[in-house]
A and B are shown apart, each in its own frame.
Chain A
Amino acid sequence: MKRPIGTRTEINLDNDIAISVKNLHKSFKLPTEQAFGLKQAFFNRLRGIKGYKEQKVLKNLNFEIKKGEFIGIVGRNGSGKSTLLKILAGIYYPEKGEVTINGNLVPFIELGVGFNPELTGRENVYLNGALLGFSNEEMNSMYDDIWDFAELGDFQDQKLKNYSSGMQVRLAFSIAIRARGDILLLDEVLAVGDAAFQQKCNNYFARLKDKKQTVILVTHAMENVRKFCDRAILIENGKITLDGAPEEVATAYLKLWQ
Chain B
Amino acid sequence: MSIPRVLNRKNRILLSELTKTDFKLRYQGSVLGYLWALLRPLMMFAILYIVFAKLLKIGSDIPHYPVYLLCGTTMWSFFTECTQQGIQAIVVRGDLLRKISFPKYIVVVSATLTAVINMLINISVVIIFALINGVTPSWSWLLIVPAILELYLLSLGISFLLGSINVKYRDITSIWDVVIQALFYAVPIIYPISMVATTSVTAAKIILLNPISQAVQDIRFNLITNETITTWNFLNHPIYALIPIILTIGLLIFGALVFRRKSKFFAEEV
Contacts and interface: CB of A to CB of B under 8 A. Distances in A.
Interface of A: 1, 4, 28, 36-39, 41, 86, 89-93, 107, 109-110, 113-114, 116, 118-119, 123, 126-127, 130-131, 133-136
Nearest to B93: A114
A226 B249 CA distance: 58
Contacts of B265: 1, 93
Given A36-B169, A37-B171, A91 B24 contact: no
A134 B17 CA distance: 11
B259 to A, nearest CB: 14
B13 interface: yes
Given A38-B169, A134-B13, A107 B21 contact: no
B99 A109 contact: yes
Contact of A127 (B17, B95, B171): B17
A1 B165 CA distance: 13
B264 to A, nearest CB: 5
A126 B18 CA distance: 10
Given A36-B170, A38-B171, A91-B98, A135 B13 contact: yes
Given A37-B170, A113-B96, A89 B101 contact: yes
B98 to A, nearest CB: 7
B268 A119 contact: no
Q: Which of A1, A4, A93, A114 has the most CB of B within 10 A?
A: A114
Contact of B100 (A113, A116, A123): A113
Given A118-B28, A130-B16, A134-B13, 17 more contacts: A28-B268, A36-B169, A89-B100, A90-B101, A91-B97, A93-B265, A107-B100, A109-B98, A113-B99, A113-B100, A114-B95, A119-B24, A123-B21, A127-B17, A131-B14, A131-B17, A133-B10
A27 B48 CA distance: 54
A130 B171 contact: no
B134 interface: no
A4 B99 contact: no
A133 B264 CA distance: 21
Contacts of A134: 13
Contact of A107 (B14, B101, B264): B101
A124 to B, nearest CB: 9
B42 interface: no
Q: Which of A28, A41, A93, A131 has the most CB of B within 10 A?
A: A131
A93 B29 CA distance: 39
A142 B17 CA distance: 17
A41 B169 contact: yes
Contacts of B21: 116, 119, 123, 127
Interface in B1-30: 9-10, 13-14, 16-18, 21, 24-25, 28-29
B267 interface: yes
Contacts of B28: 118
B57 interface: no
Given A36-B169, A118-B25, A135-B13, A86 B267 contact: yes
Contacts of A39: 171
A95 to B, nearest CB: 11
Interface string B162-192: 0000001111000000000000000000000
A7 B267 CA distance: 17
Nearest to A136: B13
Nearest to A90: B101
The 7 closest A-B pairs by CB, nearest first: A130-B17, A90-B101, A113-B99, A38-B171, A133-B10, A109-B99, A91-B267
B252 to A, nearest CB: 22
A130 B19 CA distance: 12
B17 A126 contact: yes
Contacts of A118: 25, 28-29
Nearest to A35: B168
B58 to A, nearest CB: 38
A123 B28 CA distance: 13
Contacts of B264: 4, 93
B25 A37 contact: no
Interface in B247-270: 262, 264-265, 267-268
A93 B265 CA distance: 7
A216 to B, nearest CB: 15
A108 to B, nearest CB: 9
Contacts of A90: 101
A28 B265 CA distance: 10
Interface string B92-122: 0001111111000000000000000000000
A39 B28 CA distance: 36
A22 to B, nearest CB: 20
A156 B2 CA distance: 40
B153 to A, nearest CB: 26
